Amino acid sequence: MTNLLTINNINNEVNKTLTNINEKSILYNILQENYNINNDILMSFDTKISLIESKINAINTSLNYNFNGNDNYMCLLSILKKTNIEYDNLKKIKIEYNNKLNEYDNSLYNTNLEIQLLNEYLEHLNKMKNRMNRWNNITNLTDEEKYKETYKNNYLFEEQLNSILNK
């Protein structure tokens, strides 16, 4: 970890953290776009699978009730076999896309978590910088100014405490 004893070091760390946040945000947007594309593809597979199921039901009904006579029976069995193979292939592809979608979802979640952590760290760094600014100035204050600063800090602390307790 970087030594954060000076405001310059904190500022450098803030800049690195902001760069990290920007990179993670770009990655998040790319992942979100890929997720949406794959979700659309998955939904189109659902539609194709539904249509093929309907086609299989139609062929089975025709075979069961012998709508087309014995002449077309073998032809219908051949079509049914091809349709079932197509159906099975689409189901496999759908599972693959579903797995890919889950991977994107997981990556989105992790990237979002990283962005949140970086933002919290950035907030912490800014608070640290403010504290350092305040405490570096204290050596240059007169006794009266120190007393006023202490009184002001105590007053603000009491206000915050009252605000928390009254919620």
Indicate the domain borders of the chain. 7-141
What is the arithmetic mean of pLDDT over 144-155?
A: 83
**Cα dist. 160→26, 37, 111, 153 in Å?**
37, 48, 34, 10
Predicted pLDDT at 2: 52
Q: Where do we find the tokens 């945000």?
A: 25
Best-predicted range by mean pLDDT among 92-96, 148-152, 153-157?
A: 92-96
Check if the beta carbon of residue 125 is closer than 8 Å to that of residue 17. yes
Q: What is the DSSP letter of 70?
A: G
On the question of pLDDT at 134 being above 90, the answer is no
On the question of pLDDT at 69 being above 90, the answer is no
In this prediction, residue 133 has a pLDDT band, given cuts at 50, 70 and 90, of confident
Distance separating alpha carbons of residues 146 and 54, to the nearest angstrom: 83
On the question of pLDDT at 98 being above 70, the answer is yes
Q: Give the mean pLDDT of the chain.
A: 89
Distance separating alpha carbons of residues 41 and 35, to the nearest angstrom: 10
Q: For 2-55, write each residue's pLDDT tens digit.
A: 556 677 888 999 999 999 999 999 999 999 999 999 999 999 999 999 999 999
pTM, rounded to two decimals: 0.72
Class of the CATH domain delimited by 7-141? mainly alpha
Runs of H (alpha helix) within the chain = 7-65, 73-137, 143-165
Distance separating alpha carbons of residues 105 and 115, to the nearest angstrom: 15
Distance separating alpha carbons of residues 76 and 148, to the nearest angstrom: 95
On the question of pLDDT at 113 being above 80, the answer is yes
On the question of pLDDT at 58 being above 60, the answer is yes
